Amino acid sequence: MLHFDGHITPAADPEILKALGSSIAPYDTPFGPRQKGQEKVEALYELFGADPKDQIYICASAQQALDKLVHHLYFDYMIKTGRNHVVLLNTTEALSVNSVDALKQAGVSVKMLSVNNQGQVDLDALKKALTPKVAFLSMSFVTPLTGVVQPIWDIATICRDKGVFLHVDIGPAMGHLYFQFKDLPIDYLTFDGRYLGAPYGGGFLAKKGSYGPKAQSNVCPYMLEALYLGAKKRLSDAEECFEHYRLADHFVQKVRDTIQGSVPYFTNCETLPHVVTIGFPGLHGEALLYRLNQKGVRASIGGQSQQRLERLLGLMGIDEMMARSALSFAIPKNLSQKTLDEAVNLIANQVNQLRKLSGVMAS
């Protein structure tokens, strides 16, 4: 099975699973001053480039990390200041939307900010959206399905000028874009531990400075160890992104040469080095997804914690029929060019078969 869907359903790293079996005793107290767990916490600070004054929280899930953040901002800031408006991007993942939507019952106003035709924030529209009533902007550094990277430094400058907290979920960028938390101009950072190769059920929240949620307790030592091992391995992988860029470019060119009328998207903006979104006119993307899965090739159209690819492309002004024909591919690491070419030939074969079937049905 060739997995081109690792950006949506990342698998646990076998090396991490194996290491968890013997690396930490179940009775260790992660935040005890002389325990092994405390050493791992300190190592996480170093791996993420966090300042000792910053705060990090190991959570039971990505959803819990987001809920903890929203709870803190509402009770410790929004109620006290009266700034009860929140802004999200309309491409935001479902987990963030779920967390923020809970605030509506408390009278909080939630505004969805549209992106431009390249899937990035319109900076002029952002300036207008961040009124004096807005408490924080919540967004993803990267849209997982499209791979589009947001202009985070420009966004952060606007937020600081407006006195608005900035929360960024950085999960899909882990291991693909190099970063240090102290260098990122953001206030809060979250991610799903799966993007580090950890087992399902781990989340991470980081806050710059001492103002943040209450102190952490009752942390699962296995999840702490998993995040540590994943960070140690994945963050160093970002240095290998040049090969990913080359393979992704080769994949796009091979598809263009092999599949008539195919349309790669987001070629004029910064994207993750391994994520490619391509439209295949004359067929339905979900039908192609099914047939590829039957042949051992996994791509993605979103769903579950992600928005559907069709909807995302529609939000960017892409024609409805073209949006329905698109699939998202994440080029796996350590994949040979020969295997990649074979995958493209298989995709081309299935596209041609579906187009013939579509032509028969249309007649």
Higher pLDDT, 344 or 230: 344
Calpha distance 302→311 (Å, rounded): 10
User: What is the average pLDDT across 342-348?
Assistant: 96
Q: Are 215 and 55 in contact (CB under 8 A)?
A: no
Instruction: Using the structure block, give the residue that is written with the tokens 């901002």.
Output: 73
Give percent of the chain above pLDDT 90: 48
Lowest-pLDDT range of 138-147, 195-204, 242-251, 285-294: 195-204
Judged against a pLDDT cut of 60, whether residue 261 lies above it is answered with: yes
Calpha distance 156→167 (Å, rounded): 10
User: What is the average pLDDT across 180-201?
Assistant: 83
The pLDDT assigned to 235 comes to 62
The pLDDT assigned to 50 comes to 85
Judged against a pLDDT cut of 80, whether residue 187 lies above it is answered with: yes
Sequence-distant (6+) residues with CB within 8 A of 48 are: 56, 180, 181, 206, 231, 235
Q: What average pLDDT does the structure give for the chain?
A: 84
CB atoms within 10 A of CB 274: 24
User: What is the average pLDDT across 109-128?
Assistant: 94
Lowest-pLDDT range of 81-90, 162-171, 304-313: 304-313
Sequence-distant (6+) residues with CB within 8 A of 188 are: 69, 136, 165, 166, 167, 168, 205, 206, 207, 208
Q: Where in the chain is the domain with CATH 3.40.640.10?
A: 14-237
CATH 2.40.50.180 for domain 14-237, yes or no, is no
Give the model's confidence band at 285: pLDDT under 50 very low, under 70 low, under 90 confident, else very high. Answer: very high
Judged against a pLDDT cut of 50, whether residue 360 lies above it is answered with: no
User: What is the average pLDDT across 257-276?
Assistant: 92
Judged against a pLDDT cut of 80, whether residue 284 lies above it is answered with: yes
Instruction: Using the structure block, give the residue that is written with the tokens 């910064």.
Output: 270
Give the model's confidence band at 24: pLDDT under 50 very low, under 70 low, under 90 confident, else very high. Answer: very low
Rank 47-51, 176-180, 204-208 by mean pLDDT and report only the highest: 204-208
Give SS3 for 80: helix
Higher pLDDT, 196 or 127: 127
Q: Where in the chain is the domain with CATH 3.90.1150.10?
A: 2-7+240-362
Give the model's confidence band at 226: pLDDT under 50 very low, under 70 low, under 90 confident, else very high. Answer: confident
Higher pLDDT, 52 or 162: 162
**Residue 292 CB-density burial (10 A; 0-12 exposed, 13-18 middle, 19+ buried):** buried
The pLDDT assigned to 112 comes to 92
The pLDDT assigned to 210 comes to 60
Instruction: Using the structure block, give the residue that is written with the tokens 């004029």.
Output: 268
CATH domain 2-7+240-362 topology: Aspartate Aminotransferase, domain 1 (3.90.1150)
User: What is the average pLDDT across 118-132?
Assistant: 95
